[in-house]
């Protein structure tokens, strides 16, 4: 006589623990996906270049991601607010708080603490400055200038700007579909005024983490669907056979 069929019992403790682990990992992956996106939206702004005062480094229409509150150094390209109007512009930091910035020396160059700058980033045909100046910056002041000196309105007209007027540095430039990193000009490095190399914007790492979270969620979704299908197949009762045909 065949034994009567009984439905499967409750899940074993091991299976229950596996489910807990699965959902904990899923929660972590979801946090990795959503958290960095929120952080990027809160801390990053994208500005569009509308002026020729930073040519040839920047062109009209370039998109400039800026991380709010990110530190800056001499030679950095920064988005800042014009002290006299509050309008947003893009300039290059030449001097930091405490620096003595002057133009021009006997060779016609801008100097920072007596160190002459070889400004290879200037627009072709432009001289370092047609306006002479000699300023010692206070602890909260910066000296900024455009790369197209012939047309740029900058600290030569405004004077030093407060550090608090800087929105943040431009660390990468988006030219249409192309992306380029902003490196510290070699003259600042050679003169010991800034460290060498380029910096990776924080939002790049945040987006990478978010992408990893997205991939992990897809893998977990596929794994969860596969395990559910397999479990249902194992748990399906076998139809009874009829004797005596």
> With bands split at pLDDT 50, 70 and 90, how would you rate the model's confidence at 27?
confident
Q: Among 71, 72, 70, 90, which Cα is nearest to 80's?
A: 90
- Hey, CA dihedral for 114, 116, 119, 123, is it positive or negative? positive
Q: Select which of 48, 51, 85, 91 is catalytic.
A: 91
- pLDDT (0 to 100) of residue 203: 64
147 contacts 117 by C-beta, under 8 angstroms: no
What is the average per-residue pLDDT within 10-15?
57
What is the average per-residue pLDDT within 215-236?
74
Is the pLDDT at 52 greater than 70, yes or no? yes
120 contacts 109 by C-beta, under 8 angstroms: no
121 contacts 115 by C-beta, under 8 angstroms: no
Pairwise pLDDT comparison (237 vs 115), residue with the higher score:
115
This prediction's pTM: 0.72
Taking the C-alpha atoms of residue 103 and residue 135, their distance in angstroms, rounded to an integer, is 9
124 labelled catalytic: no
Percent of the chain's residues with pLDDT above 70: 80
Taking the C-alpha atoms of residue 188 and residue 54, their distance in angstroms, rounded to an integer, is 18
42 contacts 203 by C-beta, under 8 angstroms: no
Omega before residue 104 within 30° of 0, cis: yes
Is the pLDDT at 12 greater than 60, yes or no? no
pLDDT digits (tens, 9 = 90+) for 114-147: 999 999 999 999 999 999 999 999 999 999 999 9
pLDDT digits (tens, 9 = 90+) for 74-104: 999 999 999 888 899 999 999 999 999 999 9
Mean pLDDT across the chain, nearest whole number?
Answer: 83
pLDDT digits (tens, 9 = 90+) for 167-205: 999 988 988 778 888 889 999 999 999 998 767 666 666
91 labelled catalytic: yes
- pLDDT (0 to 100) of residue 245: 45
78 contacts 169 by C-beta, under 8 angstroms: yes
Q: Select which of 48, 51, 53, 152 is catalytic.
A: 53
Asked which of 63-67, 182-186, 228-232, 240-244 is least confident by mean pLDDT, the reply is 240-244
11 contacts 198 by C-beta, under 8 angstroms: no
> With bands split at pLDDT 50, 70 and 90, how would you rate the model's confidence at 223?
confident
Taking the C-alpha atoms of residue 13 and residue 146, their distance in angstroms, rounded to an integer, is 68
């Amino acid at each position: 006589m065949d034994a009567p069929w009984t439905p499967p019992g409750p899940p074993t403790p091991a299976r229950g623990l596996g489910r807990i682990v699965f959902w904990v990992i899923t929660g972590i992956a979801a946090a990795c996906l959503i958290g960095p996106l929120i952080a990027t939206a809160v801390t990053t702004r994208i500005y569009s270049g509308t002026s020729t005062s930073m040519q040839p480094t920047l062109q009209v229409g370039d998109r400039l991601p800026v991380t709010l509150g990110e530190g800056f150094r001499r030679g950095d390209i920064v988005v800042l607010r014009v002290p006299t109007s509050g309008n947003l512009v893009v300039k290059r930091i030449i001097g930091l708080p405490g620096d003595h910035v002057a133009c021009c020396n006997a060779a016609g160059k801008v100097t920072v603490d007596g160190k002459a700058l070889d400004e290879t980033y200037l627009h072709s045909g432009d001289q370092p400055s047609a306006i002479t100046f000699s300023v010692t910056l206070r602890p909260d002041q910066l000296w900024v200038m455009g790369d197209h000196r012939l047309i740029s309105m900058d600290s030569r007209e405004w004077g030093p700007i407060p550090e608090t007027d800087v929105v943040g540095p431009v660390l990468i430039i988006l030219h249409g579909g192309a992306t380029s990193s902003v490196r510290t000009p070699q003259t600042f490095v050679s003169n010991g005024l800034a460290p060498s190399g380029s910096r990776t914007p924080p939002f790049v790492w945040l987006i990478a983490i978010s992408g990893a979270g997205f991939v992990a969620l897809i893998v977990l979704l596929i794994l969860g669907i596969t395990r559910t299908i397999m479990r249902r197949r194992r748990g399906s009762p076998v139809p009874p056979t009829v004797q005596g045909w």
